[in-house]
Structure 1
Amino acid sequence: MKCTIDNFSGLIASELAKYNKQVTESVKEIITEEANQLVENIGNDSPKRSRKIKNRVLNRYSKNWTAKKQFENSLNISYTVYNKSDPQLTHLLENGFATRDGGRVEGQKHIEPNEEKMIESLQEKIEKAVGEI
């Protein structure tokens, strides 16, 4: 298509709209992949055994991490990563807890380190995807 003064602004607007759509689709795909990867990583790093908590509960806890899409529109997408079987254990296992006899069970960090890795990975992948478009 030839560019004239009359259609110059329309051509720029249409090209920017195409670019915006490509970037948005790429970012949404990356966020979906990262949410699923985060679920896998947290499940792998979750505590598996403990003398204080029954093994079957921890095995169920480590296997039941999931990512749920909370919101999506043409520009945004949002996921929540959570444990669907035992959500009440996430804080206790991550940060530790006091026992009845006055002792303390130390927490096993399994959510926070994976979250930090995911954020770094997400930033790198988005920057790379935007640079390639």
Structure 2
Amino acid sequence: MDIASEIAKALSEYTTEVVEEIDNIADEVAKNAVNTLKVTSPQGRRSRYGKGWRSKKDGKGYIIYNATDAGLTHLVEKGHAKRNGGRTKAFNHIQNAEETAIKDFENKIERAIKR
């Protein structure tokens, strides 16, 4: 028995388990963020905006996007000038969901590492 190969094998198995755990946590956090955005998105004449939130796995992580009204996300988040003057109200729903997702991800990773 070669001890170096046994150590390398054990580290490889541990690394695989950690990567799988992190991927599971990222998937769960992305789903929670999508659900949060669906609930906290402003409702109005364009009620499909809130229903359009989706997530997809990218090579390095997850992307959360609005499939139905992607062009509105910045306008709703930051507000915009109206046609006849004035501005619309800004709804910081994306920023709030992002901050919550980041904190949730960090906490779950820390708990997973401590096990």
TM-score tier (shorter): over 0.9
Shift of 1:68: 1.3
Where 1:81 maps in the other structure, the secondary structure is strand
| Structure with the larger strand share | 1
Match of 1:112 in 2: 95
Which 5+ residue runs of structure 2 have no aligned equivalent? none
Where 1:114 maps in the other structure, the secondary structure is helix
Q: How does the TM-score come out when normalised to structure 2? A: 0.94
- Give the residue type in structure 1 aligned to 2:42: P
* Cα distance between partner residues in 2 of 1:8 and 1:112: 50
Aligned to 1:11, which of 6, 18, 40? 6
Q: Deviations over 1:92-121 (max 9, x none)?
A: 000000011221112111000110010011
Where 2:74 maps in the other structure, the secondary structure is helix
Match of 1:28 in 2: 23
Alignment of 1:3-82 (within 5 A): 7-49=2-44, 55=45, 57=46, 59-71=47-59, 77-82=60-65
* Cα distance between partner residues in 1 of 2:77 and 2:103: 21
Which 5+ residue runs of structure 1 have no aligned equivalent? 1-5, 50-54, 72-76
| Structure with the larger helix share | 2
Shift of 1:70: 2.1
* Cα distance between partner residues in 2 of 1:21 and 1:106: 47
Identity of aligned residues (%): 37
Count matched residues: 115
Aligned to 1:98, which of 77, 81, 101? 81
Q: Which has the larger radius of gyration?
A: 1
